[in-house]
Amino acid sequence: MASNTLPHWLIQHATTQPHRVALRYKQLGIWHEQHWKSLHEEVAQLVAVLGQIGFERGNTLVLLTHPRREALLLSIAAQWLGGIAAPLDPSMDEVALALLLAHLAPAFVFAEGQQQVEQTLASSPQGVRVIYAEARGLAGQQQPALRHYPSLLTGGNSIAREPVSEAGQAAFALYRVNGERSVQVEHFRHDDLLEEGRLLVLTERLGRAEEAFVARVFATSGHLRYLLSPWLTAGFTLNFPESIVTRDADRRELGPTLVVGTRETYLRLEAMIRERLPLPDSWFGRVVTYALHRDRTALQGFLGYWLVKRPLRDVIGFSRIRVPLLIGPALTADSVAFFKSLDIHIRTWDKVANWRTLPTTTTRQIPTAHDDLASTSRRAS
């Protein structure tokens, strides 16, 4: 491809597989599908609107939301214009979140609902432009700086324009507050993300038929590298739960083939399964122990899978799981063995983080790859 960026790969899939499902999302209890062509058209409309409200090359769009497709589409639209997407986890400590917003002084924010909008307005400079997803509690707001996401998709000029993003530019920036209350950043270039996505696709043999589940916000490097990037590289389907509360039920309903989780994710899922296990000394408990025994006969393995393993895998929505990935700190050996007894073979994929502490005077702009290279040269000299 002429330019190895996330928006260019969206265009590629919209051209080569326009009618395959790119996203599936749940709304008011109903699953909706969006094909690659439709996804491309919506992003093009968002590109036009962002341009109209002043978003331009080098700007940052802060995303304060739980997993939802709107945040993903706005991220790609911002990157299309040569900007950067900066996801913040809304479940983080409120004091840390306020510190981050005050430090970043964002000019453009996507906020999930009323709480996130109020947090943004309280900790951001005057004139911040906020796009929000959920209108509950905000319907009466008349502030011109607030715009409801669905309103962005009506009218406007969505004439296709070529992405201005370049492979060596930062696509995402992640922020956190460390123990010394200093703000740190880690940013990710288009070409680096896509290269790591391709590596995962080749190693795990991912294809277009995969069903991936987005249970966490894209505010960790692992989810950017091993879920978002492979999605654009391989062109499979991303599935978004209705909310963080319904994620387990939605996962059980879907039965994804690809899941990316942290240690906390897998420990929570392990606890859900163990709650369903009978007492070890009971009759059924002995049946379960027999079925999960490693040195089993073919008949034992067949019966054990359909009578015990499959129902237990269904408890956490892993009935069709093929690629369960772990990012971040490792699981204990006991937890790994427990999942393995259910034929769930967790693979660890992660890289060493490259956090950089920012001075208190840092603005919302993030250094480009050229700036970083120049900085490295100065330190070396």
Tell me what pLDDT residue 374 has. Answer: 43
DSSP 15-30: HHSTTSEEEEEEETTE
> Beta strand pairing status for 183-189 and 170-177?
antiparallel
Question: Which H or E run includes 293?
Answer: none
Instruction: Say if residues 149 and 102 touch (Cβ distance below 8 Å).
Output: no
Confidence class for position 375, pLDDT limits 50, 70, 90: very low
Tokens encoding 258: 């690809």
- In eight-state DSSP terms, residue 264 is H
Residue (of 87, 106, 88) closest to 97 by Cα position: 88
Task: State the pLDDT confidence band at 370, using cuts at 50, 70 and 90.
Answer: very low
Q: What is the mean pLDDT of the chain?
A: 86
Instruction: Please choose, from the candidates 86, 33, 97, the residue with its C-alpha nearest in 3D space to the C-alpha of residue 58.
Output: 86
Nearest-10 Cα torsion for 254, 257, 262, 267: 70
pLDDT at 304 over 60: yes
- Mean pLDDT value of segment 86-95: 91
Tens digit of each residue's pLDDT (9 = 90 or more) over 53-62? 999 999 999 9
pLDDT greater than 90 at residue 140: no
* Range in 26-40, 85-99, 301-315 the model is least confident about: 301-315
Asked whether the beta carbons of 256 and 239 are under 8 A apart, the reply is yes
**Does 2 have pLDDT greater than 60?**
no
Of 127-131, 176-180, 188-192, 341-345, minimum mean pLDDT range:
176-180
For the record, the structure tokens of 238 come out as 């991303």
For residues 277 and 266, what is the distance between their CA atoms, to the nearest angstrom?
A: 17
Q: Which amino acid is at 117?
A: V
Name all domains of the chain by residue range, CATH numbers in brackets: 6-241 (3.40.50.980), 262-348 (no CATH)
In the chain the first and final C-alpha atoms are separated, in Å, by: 36
pLDDT score, position 226: 94
Query: Kindly report the CA angle at 79 between 76 and 81, in degrees rounded to 5?
Result: 115
Taking CA atoms, 138 is separated from 19, 61, 110, in Å, by 35, 21, 14
Confidence (pLDDT) at 213? 95
Q: Which 8-state DSSP code applies to residue 306?
A: I
- Whether 160 has a pLDDT exceeding 70, the answer reads no
If one compares 156 and 271, the residue with the highest pLDDT of the two is 271
* DSSP code, position 175: E
pLDDT surpasses 70 at 16: yes
